Amino acid sequence: MRHRPIYLDAHATTPVDPQVLAAMLPYFTEQFGNPASGGHVYGWEAEAAVQQARESLAAAINADPQEIVFTSGATEANNLAIKGVAEAYCAKGRHLITVVTEHRAVLDPYAYLQTLGFETTLLPVTATGLVNLAQLAQAIRPDTLLVSVMAANNEIGVIQPLAQIGAICHRHGVFFHTDAAQAIGKIPLDVAAMQIDLMSLTAHKIYGAKGIGALYVRRKNPRVQLAAQLHGGGQERGLRSGTLYTPQIVGFAKAVELSLATLASETERIQTLRDRLWQQLQAIEGIQLNGDPTQRLVNNLNVSIPGIDGAALMLGLQPTMAVSSGSACSTGKAAPSHVLTAIGRSPALAAASLRIGISRFTTREEIDQSAQIIIDTVQALRQATIKGSVGSRIF
C-alpha cells in the first residue's frame, strides 16, 4: 500500500539527493567554521570549501569563479540583478524590458521599480510561449538598461533562445539577465557563448537544499556593476553581505556536478517517461498541451483539461498524487496562472490545468499509475457534471 502520494511536482522543489546530503553533513558538525574567520583552521577549511564550490559552479556555466555571488536563492538573485542594475545605472537610463510570462520574482521587482520612476516594457509571447525576437529588438530604446528573459519557464517548461536574445542585447549595448532557476543542470548553459551578463540560479530544483542560490555577474566585456541590496559585513565583494552558508554552498555545487554528470542519460530517460505520460493522457477527450512541444524542458508536462472544475480536479488528485496547477510560489492566489492566460488559455481552462514535473527518482510504474489516476479522476468529474446538468433540468 502506498503511504505517500506519487510526487510529480519537481518544478516546485526536489528532494535532496543522498550524495548531496553526504557532501553537506561534515560542514554542519565537523568543519563548521565561518569562511570569514581568517585566523584559524576552522575558517580556512570553510573558506576552501566555498572556493571549491565557487569554482565548480563557475565551470558549469563557463564563467570565472569571481563572477559567482552566493545568495539565499533565485528570488534574491533576481532582485539583486534587477534592482542592482537599475540603481547602479539610473543616470544612464530608466527603461527595463521583461516578458509577461516571467516568474513573480522578476515581475514584482520590475513593478517595484516602476514606483520609483522607471519605465518597464512587458513583452508578449507566442501561443507556444516563446519570445518574438523581432519584438524584443524593437522594444529596446536608447535609455534601456536591462532585458530579463527566463531561460526555462517554471510552469510550461518553454526554453527561450538565450543565445539569440544575448546577441540582440549586446548589439544594442543592453545588459541581459536570465532567471535560470529551472534550467541549471537540465540544459547546457554557457554565459560566454550565450552573451549572458547576469544569471540567477538555485539549488533546490536540482536535488540540492533550499535556501541557497547564486547570481552570475559578468566582470568584463562588458563589466556589470551592481548596487548591493544587503549591507553589512561586506561578504561576496560587498555585493551580498551575510555569513556564507557553507553546507548549503557545498551541497549546491555537488547537486550541479551530479546533474551535469548524468545530463545525457537523465535527459533521455525522463523524456521517455514524459512522452509516455503524454501519450496515455491523450485518452482524455479535448486535453491540450501548454507550451512549445519541442522547445521545452524534458521533465515538464503542462496540460489543460476542458469541461471540469480546476479546484475539484486538484482535490480529486490530492490523496494519490502531488502535482500543481501553477507556480508553487503563487500558492493561495485565486487568479488563474498569468503564464497560461498569456498563451491564450481562458481563465477557466487555465484553472483546469496540471503542471507535472518529473524527477530523477520518478519511475515508469509511477508514470503509468499517475496516468490512470488522472484519467479516472477526469472521467468521474465529467460524469458528475453531466448528472448535475441533467438533474438541474429535471428539477
Structural contact between residues 88 and 227, judged by C-beta atoms closer than 8 angstroms: yes
Q: What is the spatial distance between Cα 71 and Cα 74, in angstroms, rounded to a whole number?
A: 8
Sign of the CA dihedral 93, 94, 95, 97? positive
* Residue tagged active-site, from 329, 380, 386, 390: 329
Which residue matches cell numbers 520518478? 362
Is 169 an active-site residue?
no
Which residue matches cell numbers 540560479? 201
Where helices occur in the chain by DSSP H, the ranges are 18-24, 26-29, 41-60, 74-88, 104-114, 133-139, 162-171, 246-261, 263-281, 310-317, 338-342, 347-351, 364-394
Which run of H or of E encompasses 199?
strand 198-202
The CA-to-CA distance between both ends of the chain, in Å, stands at 43
Strand order in the sheet with 144-148: 68-71, 213-217, 198-202, 175-179, 144-148, 95-99, 119-123
Which residue matches cell numbers 528573459? 149
CA dihedral 334, 338, 340, 342 (to 10 degrees): 140
Where helices occur in 61-103 by DSSP H, the ranges are 74-88
Q: What backbone phi and psi angles, to 5 degrees, belong to 179? A: -85, 105
Which residues are part of the catalytic machinery? 329
